[in-house]
Amino acid sequence: MKPSDKVRSSETGKIKLKVSYKQAGLTIAELAAKANISEDTIKRLLGTKECLNGVERWQVNKIAEVLEIQPTDIVDPKDWYGQNSLPPEFESLIAEKTRTFCGRRFVFDTFEQFIKANPCGYFTIVGDAGMGKSSIAAKYISEYLSPCYFNILVERRNRPELFLKSIRRQLIDRYQLLKSEDDDLATLLANVARKLTAGERLVIAIDALDEVEQEPGENLLHLPKNLPNSVYFLLTRRPYNPDKKGLLVDVPERELDLRDERYVDFNHNDITEYIQVVLKPDSGYQEGLKKWIQTRSISEENFVGELAKKSENNFMYLRYVLPAIACGDYNDFDLKQLPKGLQEYYQNHWVRMGMEAKSGQLMEGILYILLEIGTPIPCGTIAGIVEKDEYDVKQVLEDDWVEYLKKQNVEEEICYTIYHASFLDFLKTKRQMDSKRKIFQEVNQQIVDYLQRKIAEKEDSGE
Ligand SMILES: Nc1ncnc2c1ncn2[C@@H]1O[C@H](COP(=O)(O)OP(=O)(O)OP(=O)(O)O)[C@@H](O)[C@H]1O
Ligand SMILES: [Mg+2]
């Protein structure tokens, strides 16, 4: 993108521009003089003068610099950074996490205050599994098109070198950095900082520091101790032991713990809003939910309030339970009997699927294979490991466990992993409780046998 390329202001940008120059105590003529551009250019951005071709990027930069706002406050980030500025590897995840996003204004506002109060720094959102940390990161990224990285343990996308490679590519593309292919993060940030105009900032969002895998010693993902001015990191992680923080820095830092008492009402409101959204006509679940509510002769208000309590402010809980109620899975339950909290939901579902009663069946084996393998795996490989027909395995994956799995295309093959880290944790607790149980030994033996068969096949075919 060249400084002379043309852009237009967004509808919110027009308002933001008007508010900002007034707040700065300037008239249009004074702003034009300070930014060294014409009054007509400002009027075009304000929408009070026709703007057929747009205005040049450098002019927006000048105005933003004078008013100490972001160019993306005036121009939609999608137009400012170009259409495809979300990293393709995270595009579908971001779309999925933001599809029915509700609330969280208090988090974004607190982050904004942190930015305003500090020249640079690290801001970390802490919260339990399923409280919505990744979704908050995804929402921020989709609005500001921030460079980003999602650590995903179940996909083995969680090592410092992979993070650096991805962020380096994103920064080089966005800021047209030259000869930076081998630069480390600190050098890249310094080079970007040099290109930022006054008032402009760089926010890099990184999700799930708790899922990072690296040798202890240095900062997680080798995040730098010092940052240049106007550079911020928005991080998320599960609650952690202070000894294992893995992030020693010499710049301002702040944590927002979603579990903090002071956010109880905010969390409750956001959760309530989400239930109300799902009760609306286009959610796909309205009919089933309303039927469930009516059959029990309870008011919708009561349903929303009680379910919000049951959810323990956990979005992941609702993501499972609302569709399950709608499709009749809880027809034999009343409001009071619904599981309390995410872990009880998993355990409850586990029992209802008959996993305790008929331990050792194909359904259980397949889950443990997904747990043990830990990377996306095709149906055919699972069938090979359990030595069962691929059709039967596919049925289990697509019918029994569908809401717990993520399907993705890897090198032209449909592969499966466990969708959410909280379910992975649940399965791990089963393994810890029961590591001597026959099924775990069997699954591991089946994996070893399968690999040995594959090696032998390769040797036979002379590869
Ligand atoms: N603000 C929100 N509005 C609507 N849905 C949400 C919101 N936050 C989370 N969800 C839903 O809940 C699910 C779980 O949230 P998310 O994955 O963000 O949790 P998390 O805190 O990152 O959990 P983990 O620590 O296990 O990674 C999301 O996939 C999304 O469907
Ligand atoms: Mg997450």
Task: Give the chain's domains with CATH numbers.
Answer: 6-77 (1.10.260.40), 88-259 (3.40.50.300), 264-352 (no CATH), 362-460 (1.10.10.10)
Q: How many angstroms is it from 272 CA to the middle of ligand 1?
A: 14
pLDDT of residue 185: 95
Q: Which atom of ligand 1 is found nearest the CA of 127? A: 21
Band of pLDDT at residue 184, cut at 50, 70 and 90: very high
Q: Which of 106-110, 203-207, 243-247, 329-333 comes out lowest in average pLDDT? A: 329-333
Q: Which atom of ligand 1 is nearest to the CA of 103?
A: 1
State pLDDT tens for residues 14-56.
Answer: 999 999 999 999 999 999 999 999 999 999 999 998 878 888 9
Answer yes or no: are the C-beta atoms of 393 and 363 closer than 8 Å: no
Task: Read off the pLDDT of each residue in 174-198 and give the average, rounded to a whole number.
Answer: 89
Task: Copy the structure tokens of residue 244.
Answer: 């294992």
pLDDT at 429: 83
Q: Which of 70-74, 79-83, 405-409 has the lowest mean pLDDT?
A: 79-83
Gap from CA of 145 to ligand 2 centroid (Å): 19
Q: How far is the CA of 303 from the centre of ligand 2 (A)?
A: 27
**Torsion over CA of 390, 393, 398 and 403, rounded to 10 degrees?**
-150
Distance 166 CA to ligand 1 centre (A): 23
Q: Which range, 45-54, 244-253, 354-363, is most confident?
A: 244-253
Question: Quick one: pLDDT at residue 432?
Answer: 67
pLDDT score recorded for residue 31: 94
Q: Is the CB of 133 under 6 A from ligand 1?
A: yes
Average pLDDT over residues 141-153: 92
The helix or strand, by DSSP H or E, that contains position 201, with its residue range, turns out to be none
- What is the reported pLDDT for 1? 67
Q: Rounded distance, CA 328 to CA 95, Å?
A: 28
Ligand 1 pocket: which of 315, 318, 405, 426 to mutate (most atoms within 8 A of CB): 315
Ligand 1 probe mutation, 96, 105, 135, most atoms within 8 A of CB: 135
Whose C-alpha lies nearest to ligand 1, atom 5?
Answer: 101
Of 330, 328, 327, 329, the residue nearest 338 (C-alpha): 330
Which residue's alpha carbon is at the smallest distance from atom 9 of ligand 1? 132
Q: How much is the pLDDT for 360?
A: 67
